[in-house]
C-alpha cells in the first residue's frame, strides 16, 4: 500500500521573521510537508534562539523555545543589508510559494523586501505579513510582542484575575501560537485563490487583532451596550456552578455546568450532597442565583474534604463537566494527549536526540504529517542551499569572508 505524501509536500516557504508569530505559521506548514528555509542574521541568528535564557523562563542549557518552532527548517544565514546576500534571497523568492515576515514596514522598505518589490520577481508568491498592531495608523512601527499587543492591549490582562489581585504575566508564546494559526489559515486561503486564478496575493494578521478576537465575547458585550466585565472573587460570583474549588490536597477543580438544569442533580450526587436538591435556597436556577454565595461556600467546604483523585473519580462517575487545573509536568505526561498525538518524537540527530516536541493542533485524514526533525543551528544549511541555487564556491567564500553569510 502506497503511503500518501504529506499534503503540502513540494511547497516552498521562506521564513523571513523572528520570534514566534510569523515563524510558527511556517512551522505548521513544515509539519504537513512544506520545505521551509529560515533566513537568519549571521550575527547570532533569530533572537528567539535565546528566549529561554531570559528570566523568569525555566532554566535550561537547551534552547527549548527554538527547538519547538525551528523544527523541520533549514537555516540560511544572510546579512540582508548586503546587496549580494539580498540578491541570493531574491533568487529564493523567484522559486518560492510563500514568503512570511514580521519585519516592520520601515525595515522591509530599507531592505527592499516589501510586497510591491517582491511581487514582480514572482507573481505567484503568497506574501504573509505578521505585525503587532496592524499595517495602518500611528503605531505600525511600534514594537509588539504577544504579552503587549495580544494580552495587554486586548483587555484580557485586565479581566483574567481575581478581584483585588494584580494583573498576571502572560505565558511565553500564548498569544503568538494561536495567532500563527490565523496567519496559517490566511496563507492557505491565498494558496486556494492562487490555485483558482494563478495569482499570488498578500495576506496579513496582527497580534492586536488576534487578541481582540480571543477576547471577543466580552468586547462584543460592550459593543451592544452591556456593562464591562469586572473581575470578582470566587465567592462573589453569581454562579457557583461555573467556578473554581480547592481540594484537600491543595489542587484545583474547575466546574463548568453550563446546562445547569440537567447537571445540577448529578453534581449534588457526585458530592454526596443530595440534601441540596431539596434545599429551597438551591432548588431551581433562580434560587441558586439568588443564593450563589451560600452555595459556593457549601461546595467549597465539601471539595475541601477529599483529595483531587477522589473527586476526579466521583465527578467522572456522574458525568459532571469539570476540568482539573493541570500542572505543567502533568500535561507533558497526559495519556489522553499522548493517545491523540499532541506530543511527537523528534528524529534522532546528534545532540538533538531523545526529546519530544508539541505537534501543531490540526490533522488531515489520510495525509500524514512529516516526521519532526531537529531545529537547525544558525546558518547550518547556508552552503547546501546556495549550492542548490548554483552559486559558485568562489562567491560563497567571498560572501563568508566579509560576514554576509554564515
Residue 294 has pLDDT above 60, yes or no: yes
Residue 350 region by backbone torsions, left for phi larger than 0, else alpha for psi between -120 and 50, else beta: left
CB count within 10 Å of CB 78 equals 26
* pLDDT band at residue 257 under the 50/70/90 scheme: very high
Q: How much is the average pLDDT of 67-77?
A: 98
- Specify the pTM: 0.94
Q: How much is the average pLDDT of 316-338?
A: 97
Residue 111 has pLDDT above 60, yes or no: yes
Distance CA 14, CA 5 (A): 21
Helix or strand holding residue 130 (H, E)? strand 126-131
Q: Are 378 and 403 in contact (CB under 8 A)?
A: no
Given this model, what pLDDT does residue 49 score? 98
* pLDDT band at residue 92 under the 50/70/90 scheme: very high
Q: Which three cell numbers stand for residue 68?
A: 519547538
* pLDDT band at residue 153 under the 50/70/90 scheme: very high
CA–CA distances in Å: residue 74 to residues 34, 35, 119, 193, 393:
11, 8, 24, 27, 20
* pLDDT band at residue 27 under the 50/70/90 scheme: very high
Q: How much is the average pLDDT of 335-341?
A: 96
Given this model, what pLDDT does residue 4 score? 87
Closest listed residue to residue 237, CA positions, set 193, 178, 296: 296
Given this model, what pLDDT does residue 347 score? 81
CA 64 to chain centre: 15
Model pLDDT for residues 37-46, shown as the tens digit of each residue = 999 999 999 9
Given this model, what pLDDT does residue 3 score? 76
Query: Coil, strand, or helix at residue 39?
Result: strand
Q: How much is the average pLDDT of 257-283?
A: 96
Residue 286 has pLDDT above 80, yes or no: yes
Given this model, what pLDDT does residue 125 score? 98
Given this model, what pLDDT does residue 155 score? 97
* pLDDT band at residue 348 under the 50/70/90 scheme: low
Q: How much is the average pLDDT of 125-149?
A: 97
Q: Which three cell numbers stand for residue 67?
A: 527547538
Model pLDDT for residues 179-217, shown as the tens digit of each residue = 999 999 999 999 999 999 999 999 999 999 999 999 999
Residue 389 has pLDDT above 70, yes or no: yes
Given this model, what pLDDT does residue 350 score? 53
- The dihedral sign for the CA sequence 77, 82, 88, 91: positive
Q: At what angle do helices 382-389 and 83-95 cross, to 10 degrees?
A: 70
Given this model, what pLDDT does residue 403 score? 95
Residue 246 has pLDDT above 90, yes or no: yes
Amino acid at each position: 500500500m502506497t503511503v500518501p505524501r504529506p499534503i503540502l509536500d513540494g511547497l516552498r516557504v521562506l521564513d523571513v521573521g523572528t520570534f514566534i508569530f510569523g515563524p510558527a505559521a511556517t512551522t505548521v506548514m513544515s509539519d504537513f510537508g512544506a520545505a521551509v528555509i529560515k533566513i537568519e542574521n549571521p550575527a547570532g541568528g533569530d533572537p528567539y534562539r535565546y528566549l529561554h535564557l531570559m528570566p523568569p523562563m525555566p532554566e535550561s542549557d537547551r534552547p527549548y523555545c527554538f527547538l519547538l518552532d525551528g523544527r523541520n527548517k533549514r537555516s540560511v544565514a544572510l546579512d540582508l543589508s548586503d546587496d549580494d546576500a539580498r540578491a541570493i534571497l531574491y533568487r529564493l523568492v523567484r522559486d518560492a510559494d510563500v514568503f512570511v515576515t514580521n519585519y516592520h514596514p520601515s525595515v522591509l522598505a530599507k531592505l527592499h523586501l516589501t510586497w510591491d518589490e517582491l511581487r514582480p520577481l514572482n507573481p505567484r508568491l503568497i506574501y504573509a505579513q505578521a505585525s503587532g498592531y496592524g499595517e495602518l495608523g500611528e503605531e505600525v512601527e511600534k514594537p509588539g510582542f504577544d504579552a503587549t499587543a495580544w494580552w495587554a492591549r486586548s483587555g484580557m490582562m485586565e479581566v483574567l484575575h481575581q478581584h483585588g489581585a494584580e494583573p498576571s504575566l502572560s505565558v511565553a508564546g500564548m498569544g503568538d501560537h494561536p495567532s500563527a494559526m490565523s496567519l496559517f489559515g490566511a496563507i492557505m486561503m491565498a494558496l486556494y485563490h492562487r490555485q483558482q486564478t494563478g495569482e499570488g496575493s498578500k495576506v496579513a494578521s496582527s497580534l492586536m487583532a488576534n487578541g481582540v478576537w480571543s477576547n471577543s465575547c466580552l468586547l462584543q458585550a460592550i459593543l451592544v451596550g452591556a456593562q464591562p466585565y469586572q473581575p470578582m472573587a470566587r465567592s462573589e460570583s453569581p454562579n457557583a456552578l461555573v467556578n473554581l474549588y480547592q481540594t484537600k490536597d491543595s489542587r484545583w477543580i474547575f466546574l463548568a455546568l453550563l446546562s445547569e438544569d440537567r447537571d445540577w442533580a448529578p453534581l449534588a450526587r457526585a458530592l454526596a450532597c443530595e440534601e441540596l436538591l431539596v434545599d429551597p435556597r438551591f432548588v431551581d436556577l433562580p434560587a441558586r442565583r439568588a443564593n450563589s454565595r451560600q452555595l459556593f461556600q457549601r461546595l467549597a467546604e465539601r471539595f475541601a474534604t477529599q483529595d483531587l483523585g477522589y473527586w476526579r473519580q466521583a465527578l467522572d462517575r456522574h458525568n459532571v463537566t469539570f476540568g482539573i487545573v493541570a500542572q505543567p509536568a502533568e500535561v507533558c505526561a497526559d495519556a489522553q494527549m499522548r493517545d491523540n498525538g499532541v506530543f511527537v518524537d523528534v528524529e534522532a540527530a546528534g545532540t538533538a536526540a531523545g526529546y519530544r516536541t508539541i505537534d501543531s493542533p490540526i490533522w488531515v485524514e489520510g495525509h500524514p504529517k512529516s516526521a519532526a526533525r531537529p531545529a537547525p543551528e544558525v546558518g547550518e544549511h547556508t552552503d547546501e542551499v546556495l549550492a542548490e541555487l548554483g552559486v559558485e564556491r568562489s562567491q560563497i567564500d567571498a560572501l563568508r569572508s566579509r560576514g554576509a553569510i554564515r
